[in-house]
């Protein structure tokens, strides 16, 4: 009986995924656990695996389609099988989640258990949760490792107490090498490419594109004459993060009343403090705390006093958060990602800095989980390193504000004796005038200035 393949659910906040590429075509055979397609959420890339052995009878969505999670995307079964009921369900837009689960359970084998000592306290003879072919219990740990490494438990012999399959049994079968996606494995053989140590897939899996990037550059092109206007170019389909970012930014500008305040704060204490952290004894592990970390720390404290900026706008209602979940813009090879430091207001500076470093690494390696890229109550975007004076960051709805951080510049300050030049750090606060007026926004800006200039006080919070 044919089985539906569903778009898997990714984290709590992801509602749909964009299909990047099908690694299988209709009519090709697949094995359980084999990757059938790659898809992308607005946060991360995922691989969708087959839930059974068989032939792909039907693909319902081509590449580049955006598909809600838990929707049927393909049907797998025996060639020639009647799939009209699936077609009907697809047409009706119904979920077939239950059916897919039912198939798995029904296929479970009921082979005789191995002889065990202390039979009455041994393992259950058969378990509905055990996949086909299993005839002994599997520890939760072994089951998880098998799933992660794509090991078919029916091929594993248990060596644990009472023949339970335990971690070492799965590891023995899986070997210790970093796994390749099926497409990557095929390409490796066919094209003679070399694979990197770890790839950009989930858990470091090496994907097809990792092989391509690792491949040597094409043979040097010979010098050519000046071409006809406009010369050669390429059209590339916009997809993945770019496409989603584009849609989001347009939606933001279309649906909100944005305006930006620019202001600056004397940066002396900020720069001093950062210097102190850099000079701190290495074992304290404070050397990696960045200016941006300090600013996120401070702003997360200031926001507690300005809940109207730590909020979401829903048109009919506003949601005020008791805690600050700080999103921050992160430039990655795939485009802009906004990882979120949850409960930033409760973290120490060091903890916040460690978390931001971890998230940045995860984003750049393409390993950030969907839940790590959603749920911000406020966002910051730092372009100071590029020497930008001032800019108009765009709000990430339903958030009501975003604080841009700009470069540090010398500005004159009137002192008792005359004028002194001091380093100032620039900020650009974009806020949604639907949710907040100019005066509270200005008060918030003033509070940020005060906090940055009196950093030592806020470090106590």
Partner 1 sequence: MPKSITIDPVEVRASGKIKINDIPANSYKPDFKKEEKLYGREGLIGAYYDMLIIREFETMLDQIKKEGAYQGMEYNHRGPAHLSAGQESASVGQSLVLDTDDFIFGSHRSHGEILAKCFSAIKKLDEATLSTTMENFFGGETLSVVDKHNRGENVRDHAENFILYGALAEIFARAQGFNRGLGGSMHTFFAPFGSMPNNAIVGGSGDISVGAALYKRVNRKPGIVIANIGDASLACGPVWEGIVFSAMDQYRTLWDKELGGAPPVMINAFNNFYGMGGQPMGETMGYREAARMAAGVNPEGMHSERVDGFNPLAVADAVARKKKILLEGKGPVFMDTITYRLSGHSPSDSSSYRTKEEIASFREKDSLVEFENYLKENGVLDDNAVEAMKAKVSKKIGDTIRIAIDDSISQHVDAKFIESVMFSNTPTEKLEDREPEVLMPLEENPRVKANARKARYAFDESGKKLPASKQFVYRDALFEAAIQGFYTDPTLIAYGEDNRDWGGAFAVYRGLTEALPYHRLFNSPIAEAAIVGTAVGYAMSGGRAMVELMYCDFLGRAGDEIFNQMPKWQAMSGGELKMPLVLRVSVGNKYGAQHSQDWSALIAHIPGLKAYFPATPADAKGMLNLALKSTDPVVFFESQKLYGVGEEFEKAGVPVEYYETPEGEPSIKRGGKDVTIITIGATLYEAVKAADILEADHGLSAEVIDLRFINPLNYDKIIESVKKTGKVILSSDASERGSYLHNVASNISRLAFDYLDAPPAVVGSRNWITPPAEMEDYFFPQASWIIDSIHENLLPLADYSVSSNQTVGEFARLQKEGV
C-beta closer to partner 1: residue 142 or 295: 142
**Residue 119: CB minimum distance to partner 1, A:** 9
Q: Which stretch binds partner 1 (CB under 8 A): 135-143, 201-209, 306-314, 320-328?
A: 135-143
Q: Which stretch binds partner 1 (CB under 8 A): 101-109, 156-164, 229-237, 289-297?
A: 156-164
C-beta closer to partner 1: residue 9 or 243: 9
C-beta closer to partner 1: residue 118 or 283: 118
Residue 98 forms beta bridges with which residues?
none
Residue 292 forms beta bridges with which residues?
none
**Residue 162: CB minimum distance to partner 1, A:** 8
Q: Which stretch binds partner 1 (CB under 8 A): 12-20, 97-105, 140-148, 287-295?
A: 140-148
| Per-residue 3-state assignment (H helix, E strand, C coil) for the chain | CCEEEECCCCCCCCCEEEEEEECCCCCCEECCCCEEEEEECCCCEEEEECCCCEEEEEECCCCCCEEECCCEEEEEECCCCCCHHHHHHHHHCCCCHHHHHHHHHHCCCCCCCCCCCCHHHCCCCCCCCCCCCCCCCECHHHHHHHHHHCCCHHHCCCCCHHHCECHHHHHHHHCCCCCECHHHHHHHHHHCCCCCCCCCCHHHCECHHHHHHHCCCCCCCCCCCCCCCCCCCCCCCCCHHHHHHHHHHHHHHHHCCEEEEEEEEECHHHHHHHHHHHHCCHHHCCCCCCHHHHHHHHHHHHHHHCHHHCEEECCCCEEECCCCCEEECEEECCEEECCEECCHHHCCHHHHHHHHHHHHHHHHCCCCCHHHHCCCCEEEEECHHHCCCCCCCCCCCCECEEEEEEEEEEEEEECCCCEEEEEEEEEEEEEECCCCCHHHHHHHHHHHHHHHHCHHHHCCC
**Residue 138: CB minimum distance to partner 1, A:** 10
C-beta closer to partner 1: residue 162 or 342: 162
C-beta closer to partner 1: residue 140 or 418: 140
C-beta closer to partner 1: residue 11 or 160: 160
What is the per-residue binding string for partner 1 in 161-180, x denoting contact by CB under 8 A? x--x-xxx------------
**Residue 159: CB minimum distance to partner 1, A:** 6
Q: Which stretch binds partner 1 (CB under 8 A): 81-89, 160-168, 268-276, 354-362?
A: 160-168
C-beta closer to partner 1: residue 196 or 203: 203
- Does residue number 139 form part of the binding site for partner 1 (CB under 8 A)? yes
How, if at all, do strands 326-328 and 340-341 pair? antiparallel
C-beta closer to partner 1: residue 121 or 233: 121
In order of 275, 393, 407, 429, the CA distances from 382 in angstroms are 19, 10, 9, 12
**Residue 364: CB minimum distance to partner 1, A:** 25
**Residue 134: CB minimum distance to partner 1, A:** 16
Which of 30, 142, 180, 406 forms a contact with partner 1 (CB under 8 A)? 142
How, if at all, do strands 335-337 and 340-341 pair? unpaired
C-beta closer to partner 1: residue 57 or 142: 142
Cβ neighbours for 308, distance < 8 A, ≥ 6 positions apart? 318, 320, 400, 435, 436, 440
Let me know: does 406 contact 387? Beta carbons within 8 Å.
no
**Residue 118: CB minimum distance to partner 1, A:** 3
**CA–CA dist 134, 152 (Å, integer):** 9
If binding means CB under 8 A, how many residues of this protein chain bind partner 1? 16
C-beta closer to partner 1: residue 355 or 432: 355
Restricting to residues 110-129, name those near partner 1 by CB under 8 A: 117-118, 120-121
C-beta closer to partner 1: residue 331 or 354: 354
CA 218 from centroid of its chain's CA atoms: 32
What is the per-residue binding string for partner 1 in 85-104, x denoting contact by CB under 8 A? --------------------
**Residue 65: CB minimum distance to partner 1, A:** 33
Which of 13, 29, 106, 144 forms a contact with partner 1 (CB under 8 A)? 144
Specify the residue for token string 């052995």. 53
Which of 11, 33, 160, 375 forms a contact with partner 1 (CB under 8 A)? 160
Which of 106, 159, 172, 392 forms a contact with partner 1 (CB under 8 A)? 159
Let me know: does 349 contact 276? Beta carbons within 8 Å.
no
**Residue 143: CB minimum distance to partner 1, A:** 8
**Residue 361: CB minimum distance to partner 1, A:** 20
C-beta closer to partner 1: residue 170 or 402: 170
**Residue 371: CB minimum distance to partner 1, A:** 17
Binding positions for partner 1, rule: CB under 8 A: 117-118, 120-121, 139-142, 144, 159-161, 164, 166-168
């Amino acid at each position: 009986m044919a089985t539906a393949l569903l778009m898997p659910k990714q984290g709590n906040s992801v509602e749909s995924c964009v299909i990047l590429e099908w690694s299988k075509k209709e009519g090709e055979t697949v094995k359980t656990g084999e990757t059938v397609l790659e898809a992308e959420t607005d946060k991360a890339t995922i691989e969708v695996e087959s839930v059974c052995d068989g032939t792909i009878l039907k693909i319902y969505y081509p590449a580049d389609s955006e598909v809600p999670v838990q929707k049927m995307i393909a049907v797998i079964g025996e060639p020639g099988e009647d799939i009209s009921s699936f077609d009907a369900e697809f047409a009706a837009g119904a979920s077939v989640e239950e059916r897919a689960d039912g198939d798995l359970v029904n296929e479970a084998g009921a082979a005789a258990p191995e002889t065990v000592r202390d039979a009455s306290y041994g393992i259950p003879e058969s378990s509905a949760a055990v996949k086909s072919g299993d005839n002994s219990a599997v520890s939760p740990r072994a089951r998880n490792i098998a799933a992660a490494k794509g090991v078919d438990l029916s091929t594993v012999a248990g060596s644990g107490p009472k023949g339970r399959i335990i971690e070492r049994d799965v590891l023995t079968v899986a070997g210790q090498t970093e796994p390749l996606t099926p497409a990557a494995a095929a390409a490796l053989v066919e094209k003679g490419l070399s694979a990197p140590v770890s790839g950009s897939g989930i858990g470091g899996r090496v994907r097809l594109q990792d092989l391509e990037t690792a491949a040597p550059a094409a043979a040097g092109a010979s010098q050519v004459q000046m071409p006809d206007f406009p010369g050669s170019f390429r059209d590339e389909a916009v997809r993945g993060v770019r496409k989603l970012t584009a849609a989001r930014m347009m939606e933001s500008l279309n649906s909100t009343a944005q305006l930006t305040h620019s202001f600056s704060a004397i940066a002396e204490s900020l720069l001093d403090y950062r210097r102190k952290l850099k000079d701190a004894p290495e074992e304290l592990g404070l050397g990696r705390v960045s200016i941006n970390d300090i600013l996120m720390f401070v702003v997360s404290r200031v926001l507690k006093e300005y809940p109207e900026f730590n909020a979401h706008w829903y048109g009919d209602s506003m949601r005020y958060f008791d805690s600050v979940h700080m999103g921050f813009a992160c430039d990655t090879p795939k485009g802009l990602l906004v990882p979120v430091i949850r409960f930033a207001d409760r973290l120490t500076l060091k903890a916040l800095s460690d978390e931001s470093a971890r998230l940045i690494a995860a984003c750049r390696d393409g390993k950030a989980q969907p839940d790590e890229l959603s749920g911000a109550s406020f966002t910051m975007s730092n372009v100071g390193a590029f020497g930008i004076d001032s800019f108009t960051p765009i709000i990430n709805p339903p958030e009501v504000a975003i604080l841009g951080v700009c470069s540090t510049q010398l500005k004159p300050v009137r002192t008792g004796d005359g004028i002194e030049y001091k380093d100032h750090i620039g900020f650009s606060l974009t806020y949604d005038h639907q949710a907040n007026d100019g005066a509270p926004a200005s008060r918030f800006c003033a509070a940020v200035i005060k906090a940055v200039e009196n950093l030592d006080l806020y470090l106590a919070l």
